[in-house]
Amino acid sequence: MTPTEFAFLARFLKERSGIVIGEDKRYLVESRLGPIARKAGFASLSELTQRLMRGGDTALAQSVIEAMTTNETFFFRDGAPFTQFSDVLLPEFAKTRAAQKRVRIWCAACSTGQEPYSLAMLLDEKAAQFPGWRFEIVATDLASEVVDRARTGLFSQFEVQRGLPIKLLLKHFTQEGDRWRIAAKLRERVQFRTLNLLRDFSPLGQFDVVFCRNVLIYFDEPTKADILGRIGKQLAPDGALLLGSAETVLGLNAAFRPHPSHRGLFVPAAAGAAPSAFRLASAVR
C-alpha cells in the first residue's frame, strides 16, 4: 500500500464510519483488509484500494468498513452500568413513568447483542415489579454482520462464559450443539437494526436511556461532540446516558453532565435548571 492509498483508506473510513485510523494502525488495516481483498479476488490491498477509489462498488465498500470495526463486547460488560440501570434508573422510572408504563432504551452500538440481551435479562428479573409495563429495547450497529448475528441470539461457548453468570445461562439459554441460543422471549424484547451514528437517527424517536458504550472512542472529538449533541436531542429530559468506563462527555458536549453520584452515568445538562424527579431523588440518596 502506498502512502496515498493508505491516506485514501483512512479518509474513506473516517467519512463513512467516523473511525479514525492513524498511520500507526497500518498493521491493523493490513491484517483486517487482507482477507477481504483475497476473498474479493484482488491480488493485493493496493488493488482493492484502487477499486474503492474508482467508487461504485457499495458491497465492497461496506465489507471494508465492517472489517475495520472492532466488535469486542461481552455480557454485563463492566458491571456498573447494568447495576446503575437496575438500581438507580429503574426505581426512578417506576415513579416517573408510572402513568405511561413505558420505557424506551437504545443500545447505540450493540455489536453482537450482549449488551441489549444483558438488559433484557435484567428486565426479566424485575418483571414482577413492573406489571403491564412495556420496556422497549432498540439495538443498533453500523455493521450488518454483527446485527444479523445478534438477531439470531446464538453465542459460542466462549461468549457465554464472559460476564454471564452460569445461573443466567441455565435460565435463559438452550444448548444447540456447541453453541447457546437465548430464549425467544428475550429475543423478541430487542429490535435490532443497522444504523450509522454519523447519519440522522432522529426517526428512532425519544428514549429514556441510551447506552452508547465503547464506540465513541474510535471517533475524533468533533464527531463525538456531534453524536452526543444529537443523542441529547433524542433523550428525555430526565433520561440518562451510559458511556464506556473510559469515556466521558466532559469538554465535548454541553448537552450532558456527569451524574453527581454515579460514575459513568450522564444526565441532560438542562436537568440542572429545573429540579427533576431524578435530581431530587439522587439528592435524597
Partner 1 sequence: MKHCLVVDDSSVIRKVARRILEGYSFKISEAENGQSALALCKQAMPDGILLDWNMPVMDGYEFLSELRSLPGGDTPKVVFCTTENDVSFITRAMRAGADEYVMKPFDKEIIGSKFAEVGLI
Ligand X SMILES: C[S@@+](CC[C@H](N)C(=O)[O-])C[C@H]1O[C@@H](n2cnc3c(N)ncnc32)[C@H](O)[C@@H]1O
- Contact flag: residue 73 with ligand X (CB under 6 A): yes
What is the residue-wise DSSP string for the chain? --HHHHHHHHHHHHHHH-----GGGHHHHHHHHHHHHHHTT-SSHHHHHHHHHH---HHHHHHHHHHTS-----TTTTSHHHHHIIIIIHHHHHHHTTTT-EEEEEESS-TTTHHHHHHHHHHHHHGGGSTT-EEEEEEEES-HHHHHHHHHTEEEHHHHTSS--HHHHHHHEEEETTEEEE-HHHHTTEEEEE--TTS--GGG--EEEEEE-SSGGGS-HHHHHHHHHHHHHHEEEEEEEEE-TT---TTT-TTEEE-SSSTTEEEEGGGGTTT-HHHHHHHH-
Q: Is 165 in the site for partner 1 (CB under 8 A)?
A: yes
Q: Tell me if 27 contacts partner 1 by CB under 8 A.
A: no
Residue 115 binds ligand X, judged by CB under 6 A: yes
Task: Give the total of residues touching ligand X (CB under 6 A).
Answer: 24
What does the per-residue mask of binding to ligand X show for 17-36, with x meaning CB under 6 A?
Answer: xxx-----------------
Query: Among 167, 199, 273, 274, which residue sits at the site for partner 1 (rule: CB under 8 A)?
Result: 167
Q: Which stretch binds partner 1 (CB under 8 A): 26-34, 98-106, 170-178, 243-251?
A: 170-178
Question: Residue 283 Cβ, how far from ligand X at the closest point, in Å?
Answer: 30
CB of 194 to partner 1, least distance (A): 28
109 counts as binding ligand X under rule CB under 6 A:
yes
101 binds partner 1 (CB under 8 A): no
